[in-house]
Structure 1
Amino acid sequence: MCARVSLSHKLFAPSIWKSYATGSGRNKDTKFNLRKGRLKEWRSPTTLYGYPVNPGSLQNQIVNALHLGERGRASTLLSHIGHDKHILKANHFVQILAYCAMKPDPLFVMEIWRTMEEKGIDMNNKCHVFMIEALCKGGYIEEAFNLMSNCGETADLYPTLRKYNTLLRVSAKMASLTHASKCLDLMEHDMLGKDEITYTELLKLAVLQKNLSAVHRIWNEYARYYSFNLISIRKFIWSFTRLGDLTTACEALQHLVALVFHGGSTVKISAEEKMVIPKLDVPIPFYSNLEWDRCRNVKEMATRGREDKMGYQNAVSFDLNEVKTVGSVLGNPKSVPVTKILRLSFTDVIRACLPPKNHELAEQLFSQMQNLGIEPSRGAYDGLIRVLVQERGFRDGIELLKLMQQKNLKPHDSTFAAISVACSKTLELDLAESFLEHMAQSKSAYHYNKLLEACDTLDQPERGVHIFGQMKQLKVAPNINTYELLFSLFGNVNAPYEYGNLLSQAEAAKRINAIEDDMVRNGIQHSYISIRNLLRALGSEGMISGLLHYLRVAENQFTPGTPIYNIVLHSLIEAKEGQMAINVFRTLMSHGYRPNDVTCNIMIDCCSISGSFKYAQGLIALMIRSGYPPQTQTYTALVKLVLALEDFDEAMILLNQACSEGIKLDALLFNTIINVASWKGRIDIIEYVMDRMHTERVPPDSTTCGHVFTAYVNQGFYNTAMEALQVMSIHMLSEEDEDNKTVFKDLIYAEDSEGESRALDLFKDSKEDLAVALFNLRWCAMMGNPISWSTNQSQWVKRLALGYKQF
């Protein structure tokens, strides 16, 4: 067995030596004395890592030089080691290596290694341990493994659990499962066994790999060889909560409280300010049964995630004696570490309630903390608020924020973000924006995207500009979802009731170019949704050339699919570009996409431009063969086609057939006939269609009112026009709740301008039909017509039911 490793072996990378030579070590410890304006001199302790320190030794001088940042002097002193008459041994380097492991300073460790090689000094176990620790703490994991695997076992150099635990720790810290597996293989080869520190590092690795099965195996194996203490249970609770096993986490939490209740553990603070259990840790034999298999535990996690909430609640129930006893224990000033462990564990379990949306359990745990005399931390409030606002809305979260303010607790950014998102979902934009402003570091685009989404829902592009400007000001990097929403918000210029014109199209093109330029600056490519939203915007503005251009972009970058083609086809039909629509439809078919019912309905609508009823029949046959029976949209398109041919008889046949099919009808189908009949002055057609509409219980809309009223006025039937307008408006209001009718009556008969303003506000809430109905009735009342809410008594309704049965 060789006690030394030759430097000719590729143990250390040349880049490491280069960084040391230039003085760019990873850790420069320079404590600066602000009062005197100079570096403090290193005052050596009496012991370092448990080993005695000789203050006047050359080792201490080297350590002092390293501490002051005098690397050159430290190297010079190192080269003079062994010039005296004493035989130089590995112990002459222990103090220096211990310091390098504590700081850490892996670069000077490698210089010591080279010096030992040059002077022919055999390595001992103390030096080996400190070298490995310094390399691991400094991030040189590969070099540490090479140092471990290339040293043979001698009387002074042999494998220990401390070395392997250090390697496991750095593997977990650097998220390197490959190195973790290599370390476990070496441990198995050396048959060292495992201690409690080993289990702790294995837990971290299992969580890193999202391997719940491994955590349970570690739990069971630990229970066989060790008695659980506060720190070990705390670490298991952390593991179970990170992997979503809320049931076992609650059980472990109950064990933790019971352990405090029985006074089974004492926690002390070490010199490194870490909580430790003062006891002897005896290693156990090594068994290689901890499999790092990710696939098997995914199904188990999904199964355990379906535990019912009652099981969770039972898992954290404590009796009154336990609560009182634990409260008295925690009241002792010496129990600060115990209180900290309990607080952290409760907080972890509360936060784990968020994915399963179990706000009942989170509230119960929060209450249990207070019953035990544990003051909830910011993290506990954060977990409770996030699960509450997700399930019950933002108001409960705001109440808890007020409670935190009373206790002088500063909320986490994630707390403000969760409440802001909840406000955005309920369209409370002012509140949502105010909570985002409270965040110390607004680095995520998700919360701003939710605000933009709410602006899109409320059709408030001006506010969207302000929010996007805030993102720019705070340097919050937008993501593709941001740009998807921007295209939806700003892609079209005109209001929903206006058509595109040259000015609006030029403005839309300017906006689209600005958004795309920003995407390029941030290195973000178009997504399927961004292209879809862009196509909709271009179609709504009637920008046909841009529409076809981005269709080609979609074809080149994605698999567009039928929905994208449907958007383009619909826009082309709205622009009366029938031949272009036919060409795009042929492209859809040639690319192997299967048209759906929406596609066929759009193309049937296209037939009204060309007047081809035969082509429409072929499309209906295609729909039926594809498993899409005709729906309301299909009949609407067919009615529009036959009316383009001025065939009212066929339109009535189609209407009656649609009513007899038992499908869900809408006002658009009836309005399609009423519109043409009004234009042609066919009162008989209008009254027949209105009767069918009333019979099928399809409420009219503002378009229905406009066409019917205009038809009667054009024929000189003014009283009938007013009566019909009143009946149709009341039918529109009858869809609302009975409780709202009192409010409606107040708006109708209000004598001041406030009533009209409140009715106009309904337009802002996208309730235009309701607003039109209120204005119609208000106008009828102002004209002196009494408002009757019993429409069945109307003479106009009775005449509709009696006449025009010939259709």
Structure 2
Amino acid sequence: MRIPLRSIADTLCRFKSGELERVSNVFLGYRGEPLTKSIQVQIVDALRLGERSRASSLLLDFGNGNQSLKANDFVYILNYCARSPDPLFVMETWRLMEEKEIDLNNTSYLLMVRALCRGGYLEEACKFMKFLRENHGTYPLLPVYNCFLGACAKMKSITHANQCLDLMELQRVGKNEITYSVLLKLAVWQQDLSAAREIWEDYIKHYSLNIISLRRFIWSFTRLKDLKSAYETLQHMVALAISAKHFASRTDEGRLYSSRLDIPIPSKSELGSQNVQSGENEQSLAFKFDTDSSNIERSKSISATVGMLNNYKNLPVMEVLRLSINDVLHACAQARAYGLAEQLMMLVGLFLYHKLLMQNLGLQPSSHTYDGFVRAIIQRRGFGAGMEMLKLMEERNLKPHDSTLAALSVQCSKALELDLAEALLEQVCECPYPYPFNAFLEACDNMDQPKRALQILAKMRQLKLQPDIRTYELLFSMFGNVNAPYEEGNRLSHVDSRKRINAIEMDMAKNGVQHSHLSMKNLLKALGAEGMTIELLQYLHVAENLFCHTNTKLGAPIYNVVLHSLVEANESHMAIQIFKKMTSSGFQPNAATYNIMVDCCSYIKCFKSGCALVSMMVRHGFYPETRTYTALMKILLEYENFDEALSLLDQASLEGHQLDVLMYNTILKKASEKDVLTHSNTNTVKIVYVIMQEFILLSDIACCISKVRIDIIEFIIERMHQDKVQPDPVTCNYVFSAYVDGGFHNTAMEALQVLSMWMISYEDMTLEEKKIEFEKDFVSSEDLQAESKILQVFKDYNEHLAAALLNLRWCAILGFPVSWSPNQSQWTTRLSTNYDSTRTVL
């Protein structure tokens, strides 16, 4: 019997909004007696008001009444308990029904299981289902099992899901599309790709694919990082959309669902024999698409069907297709599969192919689509490609996602494009993680621009974004020490450094962030750079206690920072104590530790200890490096033993070590010192000068007077030239000072010019090019701002070039002609000619 619409309207008008649910049984089909309905409504009202004792009392009275009750007389109560959920009252209702021997029907059975599952009572629901099967012989209902499996997926309970599957197999309950959907969610949560593939194989045995089912599988494959399977499944979805064989509709709430009848029909397409396996990498898959003629023909056929598909552009299938494309694009972004993302764009024609088609179909790319594509392509093509996509979005009036801006900013930070990175971060409205800000802070640290870092920290506070340990690691690196590079700390800088470190640590404590090994290492490095030895040792003790409590070893890198700082501060004996404590505590030194301690031996002038350390180093599996030889040479040079030092230089070269400028500068430093030759009486020097004036070369007389070893210096410079080891500003200083101390001012200026040229390049052609670039604007310029321009080169982290230009400009100002052909210099020619003879003597 159908209820007239007028009767329904009159009924609704008679009830207030709070009483509307009392007549909902009319529409839901609850057609019990008026008294039964009234009591159910009273019980539900009591539950809503939280009066559980009154509800229980009403339920007991309801069961003890004179009327004959059936399962339908409890449906209104069970429906409320399932929606609330209220699993406890459901169990109370079930006990009453058991006492009254009321048999459950399908509706009450489903509602009871749903209430228990939604309430989180999976164990009770499972026992309830087994009990009914064993004692009541209830007919197995697939919706009940689907409900239970859905709760297992939501609560991530694999044990209960397996029990349910066993029960379904025992009762020979099949699967429908909802079952496969839930099983896919479980497979994704377990990150079980093989299970997802088994579900795929089982599904296509019983069902022909539709748009919604393909979407589910694409979603699963992308979450399981199987891009190949996701891409191939997407191709089938596109083909299905083109064929117009789609069954997708939208509910009143806006949710998409398959409008096809859930009747198992095995797939007759090529998918039936297809084995979805991964194994091809992204490049091979992209190549396959490019060379596959069938795909090319399919793409051509897409253009031909634009007019036909115009009729379907507003259908939900287009939205499903766009969502699946977004899933694959975002998976490409996570896997950095740039080539595959490009092929996907080619398939759907968003940017590279068939633009007209996608616009006509209504498959316009959304901000989410651009987000996935941008994040994929910037991994290989860089931020420039991402900025082009931003311009395209702006043309289409699409606002980029915060994640898009953040990903682009990270790439700009990696490329040290700070202006662009900061501008992108300023547009971010919400960001759940500090990673893009940390990338910018790291770029500021690399570029030595702490002021910009402060601006981005203010942006983080504005977004109420809590820093993580990486943030604090970078803050200690940037702000831990105050003195600028090439400067030493003083009392004022020490006070500022303490304040900064305390402020950072207080913020760490406020946000509940503990020190990491790197944050502690950066903190100790800052203290060492300031020369704050006392605080350095105090924080080392703090670090030892901190990491001891967390059952993690402090590690050699942290000890190395402390040892290096102590050696640099000439606290050699303290460094030796720390080293002994380190080894006695079971910490294994690494190669850097041994090199630092060998260098320490040069300060205490103990070559024997240095050799002992090298022996220990070899026994522990670390072979001497270039810096090891440099440290040993420093010890020998403390005893003015140039012969042995040069022998070590030859040995390091024979062993294949890459000789660096630091090793050569170590010898030049000692050779340029005035106290190399030890004469007890100045008169002796004068007498030697007078006697040898007629017989000794002028350079040898200068060597006796100034007590420097110019022969060693010239030999080392020529060897550097032959080994193609470019000098640095320190090299220039040692050589220039040695000649000036010897009274050879013209030679000093000539050597300074040659070394400055070699700092720029050893190649004559390159120097000719640099002459055009630098001669007029820097070296010979009469502009008063020329030095400022050169200093800007220094600020751009080209220190050697800046020092070379300053030296050359100074030579030009003093009236010395600047030659850009250093190999034609008389000084260079003499060094080359005398090299072999000097080598024989040395």
**TM-score of the two chains, using structure 1 as the length reference:** 0.85
The answer as to 2:703 corresponding to 1:673 is no
The equivalent position to 1:124 in structure 2, one of 101, 105, 108, is 105
The answer as to 2:687 corresponding to 1:698 is no
Q: Which runs of 5+ in 1 are unaligned?
A: 1-36, 286-299
Corresponding letter in the other structure for 1:360: G
User: Relative to total residues, which structure has the larger helix share, 1 or 2?
Assistant: 2
Corresponding letter in the other structure for 1:705: C
Mark the CA change 1:60 to 1:744 in structure 2 (over 3 Å): closer, same or farther: farther
User: What does the per-residue CA deviation read over 1:695-725, in whole Å, with 9 as the maximum and x for residues that have no partner?
Assistant: 2211110111122222222333222222111
Give the corresponding residue for 2:12.
Answer: none
Give the corresponding residue for 2:794.
Answer: 763
Mark the CA change 1:539 to 1:440 in structure 2 (over 3 Å): closer, same or farther: same
Mark the CA change 1:313 to 1:444 in structure 2 (over 3 Å): closer, same or farther: farther
Q: Structure 1 residues 571-580 or 179-188, which shifts more?
A: 179-188
**Whole-angstrom distance in 1 between the partners of 2:144 and 2:215:** 24
Corresponding letter in the other structure for 2:223: R
Mark the CA change 1:132 to 1:68 in structure 2 (over 3 Å): closer, same or farther: closer
The equivalent position to 1:220 in structure 2, one of 185, 190, 201, is 201
Corresponding letter in the other structure for 2:241: V
Corresponding letter in the other structure for 2:750: E
Corresponding letter in the other structure for 2:344: L
Mark the CA change 1:699 to 1:53 in structure 2 (over 3 Å): closer, same or farther: farther
**Whole-angstrom distance in 2 between the partners of 1:48 and 1:533:** 70
Give the corresponding residue for 2:754.
Answer: 727
Give the corresponding residue for 1:463.
Answer: 452
Give the corresponding residue for 1:743.
Answer: 773
1:312 touches 1:361 (CA, 8 Å); kept in 2?
A: no
Alpha-carbon shift at residue 110 of structure 1 (Å): 5.5
Mark the CA change 1:52 to 1:59 in structure 2 (over 3 Å): closer, same or farther: closer
Equivalent pairs counted in the alignment come to 756
**Whole-angstrom distance in 1 between the partners of 2:477 and 2:258:** 59
Corresponding letter in the other structure for 2:741: N
2:30 touches 2:72 (CA, 8 Å); kept in 1?
A: no
**Whole-angstrom distance in 2 between the partners of 1:135 and 1:753:** 85
Root-mean-square deviation (CA, aligned residues, Å) is 3.4
Give the corresponding residue for 1:19.
Answer: none
Give the corresponding residue for 1:15.
Answer: none
Mark the CA change 1:190 to 1:307 in structure 2 (over 3 Å): closer, same or farther: farther
User: What does the per-residue CA deviation read over 1:340-394, in whole Å, with 9 as the maximum and x for residues that have no partner?
Assistant: 1111111111222124322232123224333352211222111110012222221
2:40 touches 2:76 (CA, 8 Å); kept in 1?
A: no
**Whole-angstrom distance in 2 between the partners of 1:535 and 1:86:** 84
Equivalent runs, 1:495-514 vs 2, <5 Å? 495-514=484-503
Describe the SS at the equivalent of 1:803.
helix
Give the corresponding residue for 1:481.
Answer: 470
**Whole-angstrom distance in 1 between the partners of 2:173 and 2:383:** 54
**Whole-angstrom distance in 1 between the partners of 2:808 and 2:594:** 40
Corresponding letter in the other structure for 1:393: G
**Whole-angstrom distance in 2 between the partners of 1:67 and 1:427:** 66
The equivalent position to 2:132 in structure 1, one of 145, 151, 167, is 151
User: What does the per-residue CA deviation read over 1:119-146, in whole Å, with 9 as the maximum and x for residues that have no partner?
Assistant: 6644322112122223434544444334
Alpha-carbon shift at residue 38 of structure 1 (Å): 7.9
Corresponding letter in the other structure for 2:178: I
Give the corresponding residue for 2:303.
Answer: 324
Q: Structure 1 residues 207-216 or 479-488, which shifts more?
A: 479-488
2:39 touches 2:62 (CA, 8 Å); kept in 1?
A: no
Alpha-carbon shift at residue 796 of structure 1 (Å): 1.3
Mark the CA change 1:663 to 1:207 in structure 2 (over 3 Å): closer, same or farther: same
Give the corresponding residue for 1:563.
Answer: 557
Mark the CA change 1:53 to 1:734 in structure 2 (over 3 Å): closer, same or farther: farther
Q: Structure 1 residues 740-749 or 788-797, which shifts more?
A: 740-749
The answer as to 2:600 corresponding to 1:600 is no
Report which structure shows greater RCO (CA 8 Å, sep ≥6): 1
Describe the SS at the equivalent of 2:520.
helix
**Whole-angstrom distance in 2 between the partners of 1:763 and 1:219:** 62
The equivalent position to 1:342 in structure 2, one of 321, 326, 330, is 321
**Whole-angstrom distance in 2 between the partners of 1:735 and 1:382:** 48
The answer as to 2:438 corresponding to 1:411 is no
Mark the CA change 1:83 to 1:177 in structure 2 (over 3 Å): closer, same or farther: closer
Alpha-carbon shift at residue 180 of structure 1 (Å): 1.7
Corresponding letter in the other structure for 1:717: F
Equivalent runs, 1:366-765 vs 2, <5 Å? 366-369=345-348, 370=350, 371=354, 372-373=357-358, 374-556=363-545, 557=547, 558-680=552-674, 681=706, 682=708, 683-734=710-761, 742-745=772-775, 746-765=777-796
1:250 touches 1:312 (CA, 8 Å); kept in 2?
A: no
**Whole-angstrom distance in 1 between the partners of 2:91 and 2:402:** 43
**Whole-angstrom distance in 1 between the partners of 2:47 and 2:319:** 36
**Whole-angstrom distance in 2 between the partners of 1:368 and 1:803:** 71
Describe the SS at the equivalent of 2:823.
helix
Mark the CA change 1:48 to 1:434 in structure 2 (over 3 Å): closer, same or farther: farther
Give the corresponding residue for 1:790.
Answer: 821
Give the corresponding residue for 2:273.
Answer: none
**Whole-angstrom distance in 2 between the partners of 1:305 and 1:125:** 50
Structure number with larger C-alpha Rg: 2
Q: Structure 1 residues 489-498 or 672-681, which shifts more?
A: 672-681
Corresponding letter in the other structure for 1:715: G
**Whole-angstrom distance in 2 between the partners of 1:689 and 1:493:** 37
2:377 touches 2:385 (CA, 8 Å); kept in 1?
A: yes
Alpha-carbon shift at residue 747 of structure 1 (Å): 2.8
Alpha-carbon shift at residue 571 of structure 1 (Å): 1.5
The equivalent position to 1:249 in structure 2, one of 222, 226, 230, is 230
Give the corresponding residue for 2:689.
Answer: none
Alpha-carbon shift at residue 68 of structure 1 (Å): 12
Corresponding letter in the other structure for 1:349: V
Percent identity reads: 50
Mark the CA change 1:418 to 1:630 in structure 2 (over 3 Å): closer, same or farther: same
Q: Which runs of 5+ in 2 are unaligned?
A: 1-15, 267-276, 675-705
Corresponding letter in the other structure for 1:249: A
